[in-house]
Amino acid sequence: MAFSLSKPITISLSPNTFGPDVLRAWVSLFKFWKWKDTRVASQLERRFGAYHGDSQAVSFDSGRSSWQAILLALGVSSGDEVLLQAYTCVVVANPILWAGATPVYVDIDTGTYNMDLIDLERKITRRSKVLLIQHTFGLMADMNEVIKIACRHGLTVVEDCAHALGAERLNGKGTWQKAGTFGDAAFFSFGRDKVISSVYGGMALTGDPRLAARLQTYQSSLSLPSRRWIVQQLLHPILFSLIVPLYFTGSLGKLLLVACQKIGLLSKAVYPCEKQGKQHASMPRRYPDALASLASAQFAHLDRFNERRSQIALLYRREFVSLWPESLPSEVEGTRSAHLRFTMQTSDPQMILASARKQHMLLGDWYQQPLAPGGVGYGAVGYAPGSCPVAEVAAMRTINLPTYPRLSDRDVQKVIDFMKKEFKP
Ligand SMILES: Cc1ncc(COP(=O)(O)O)c(C=O)c1O
């Protein structure tokens, strides 16, 4: 029999938002004269750089814009190839196309959901210029091996840390090193369901002063987002504080969500044109203080957030490891994951997601396509179906369990009880 939960568990509906974040969004909304300042964004850049061992951080309106900035700063252009993994979001492939370069998709390793380094070596050509390494769901790729391969082939390494802020890996010297500091550059996302969140926002990071200077020059050439766009993002935590509690009250919350998106009060994480390889007119832009103030407050809690995510992931692993060892993500020695989501493999993801919904739980579906979300034009973004078979099979078998820090122990137990009842490997 279905049980009902007082507070819905929702992996994607603004999961990072605590009460004070909603209040902060209200305050920011009223302080309209400060929206387009960049003082808080600059402070965040300095703190972010220091957190990453004195690297230089340059902020943008999103992770995808930060990636676009890095490609431009590296001089990537027509004729170049950029290697990236399948089992990612389409917004990662797009900036490569906009730079005039060719995305070359590499298959993944099933256990870690990170790039398969054997397939990588097969796909490197004389035109390969940049290697983008994604730390999927916060588990760091084998950067020691990646750097060796990149050196052999003269590739520039960029780390996609959209899921991995605060993750670490033991380096060749046996010391812990943060995601984003192994390669030549990295980018991070402060998107609505990332490790920390300001609905939209991102950071480019590099230890190379010349690259940093080019990123800063590019940043200064951009304008700030429109006031309308800023309001739309600030309304996100505010409206979701109403939508989430109502989500399973009949269809009230869901109707409210759809209505707010339809009339443009809420933005979407991926714009429809981006699914066809096109750039949305609102990007790229500088990162306004209106949003930087939200990310800045969350950044202060980053280590505590990641500790809580690790605890939750450990609870899932302990409960499930003897039941379904083949369905769990790999544990990799010498890594400290950011555990953005706990991903499992099942023969029937749709059934699990649907029965979870009946029990007032929204589990995750990242990534149910080799290039997510649904509706991506593979031709438009240069993906040949069949070229990354492991990623394609993994995508058909994926569900994610929530690890967001707002989950209580009771919530986690509810997820575990549900899985024990409904999960099929
Ligand atoms: C792996 C990965 N990289 C990069 C991005 C882009 O980040 P943003 O949404 O901030 O542009 C995403 C977005 O979902 C992502 O999943």
Q: What is the mean pLDDT of residues 90-94?
A: 98
Residue with CA at minimum distance from ligand 1 atom 14:
89
Nearest alpha carbon, ligand 1 atom 2 = 162
Which atom in ligand 1 lies closest to the alpha carbon of residue 202? 10
Query: Which atom of ligand 1 is nearest the CA belonging to 190?
Result: 10
For the segment 399-409, the average pLDDT, to the nearest whole number, is 96
For residue 295 and ligand 1, the question of a CB distance below 6 A is answered with: no
Residue 2 — pLDDT band, cuts 50, 70, 90? very low
For residue 118, how far is its CA from the centre of ligand 1 (angstroms)? 25
DSSP codes of every residue in 103-166: EEEE-B-TTT-SB-HHHHHHH--TTEEEEEEE-GGGPPP-HHHHHHHHHHHT-EEEEE-TT-TT
Q: How far is the CA of 5 from the centre of ligand 1 (A)?
A: 30
Mean pLDDT of the 100-110 span: 97
Find out whether the peptide bond into 370 is cis, omega within 30 degrees of 0: no
Read off the pTM. Answer: 0.97
Question: Which atom of ligand 1 is nearest to 270's Cα?
Answer: 9
CA distance 240 to 22: 9
d(CA 205, CA 189): 11
For ligand 1, whether the C-beta of 191 sits within 6 Å is yes
297 and 20 Cβ atoms separated by less than 8 Å = yes
- On the question of a common fold for 33-221 and 302-422, the answer reads no
Nearest atom in ligand 1 to the alpha carbon of residue 366 is 16
CA of 200 to the centre of ligand 1 (A): 10
Is 414 assigned a catalytic role?
Answer: no
Q: What is the CB neighbour count within 10 angstroms for residue 100?
A: 12
Q: Mind listing the pLDDT tens digit for each residue in 345-361?
A: 999 999 999 999 999 99
Which ligand 1 atom is nearest residue 64's CA?
11
Degrees, nearest 5: CA angle 284-190-43: 85
Give the tens place of pLDDT for each residue, 12-61. 888 888 899 999 999 999 999 999 999 999 999 999 999 999 899 999 99
Ligand 1 near 89 CB (within 6 A):
yes
pLDDT at 6 > cutoff 80: no
Residue 215: which of 223, 205, 201 has the closest Cα? 205
Domain ranges for the chain = 10-27+226-280, 33-221, 302-422
CB-based burial, 147-184: b 16+ in 10 Å, e otherwise: bebbeeeebbbbbbbbbbbbbbbbeeeeeebbbbbbbb
Question: Does residue 132 have its Cβ closer than 6 Å to ligand 1?
Answer: no
Best mutation site among 91, 112, 279 for ligand 1, i.e. most ligand atoms within 8 A of its Cβ? Answer: 91
Q: pLDDT digits over 284-304, tens only?
A: 999 999 999 999 999 999 999
Q: Which CATH superfamily groups domain 302-422?
A: Aspartate Aminotransferase, domain 1 (3.90.1150.10)
Ligand 1 contacts CB of residue 285 (under 6 A):
no
For the segment 239-257, the average pLDDT, to the nearest whole number, is 89
Tell me if 162 CB under 6 Å of ligand 1: yes
How far apart are the CA of 331 and the centre of ligand 1, in A? 23
**Gap from CA of 92 to ligand 1 centroid (Å):** 7
Q: What local confidence, expressed as pLDDT, does residue 95 receive?
A: 98
Percent of the chain at pLDDT exceeding 70: 99
Q: Within a 10 A sphere around the Cβ of 145, how many other Cβ atoms?
A: 11
Residue 43, Cβ neighbours under 10 Å: how many? 14
* Sheet of strand 202-206: strand arrangement: 56-60, 202-206, 185-189, 156-160, 128-134, 81-85, 102-106
197 Cβ below 6 A of ligand 1: no
Round to whole Å and give the CA distance between 283 and 100: 17
CATH topology of domain 33-221: Aspartate Aminotransferase; domain 2 (3.40.640)
3-class DSSP state for residue 246? helix
In the reported structure, the alpha carbon of residue 192 is separated from the centroid of ligand 1 by a whole-number distance in angstroms of 10
User: What percentage of residues in the chain have a pLDDT greater than 90?
Assistant: 94
- With tokens 């991070």, the residue in question is 188
DSSP reduced 3-state for 294:
helix
Residue 381 has pLDDT above 80, yes or no: yes
Gap from CA of 86 to ligand 1 centroid (Å): 13
Specify whether the CB–CB gap between 414 and 361 falls below 8 A.
Answer: yes
C-beta of 92 in contact with ligand 1 (< 6 A): yes
Read off the pLDDT of residues 167-222 as tens digits, 9 standing for 90 and up. 999 999 999 999 999 999 999 999 999 999 999 999 999 999 999 999 999 999 99
Distance from Cα 372 to the centre of ligand 1, integer Å: 10
Sheet holding 168-170, edge to edge: 176-178, 168-170, 335-336
Tokens of 197: 């969140």
Q: Whose CA is nearest to atom 7 of ligand 1?
A: 63
- The answer, yes or no, to whether any atom of ligand 1 lies below 6 A from the CB of 159, is no
**Residue positions counted in the chain:** 425
- Average pLDDT value for the chain: 96
On the 0-12 / 13-18 / 19+ scale of CB atoms within 10 A, 259 is exposed
Ligand 1 atom nearest to CA at 91: 6
Find the Cα–Cα–Cα–Cα dihedral 382, 383, 386, 391, rounded to 10°. 160
Query: Is there a contact between 272 and 90 (Cβ–Cβ < 8 Å)?
Result: no
The residue from 129, 194, 275, 414 that is catalytic is: 194
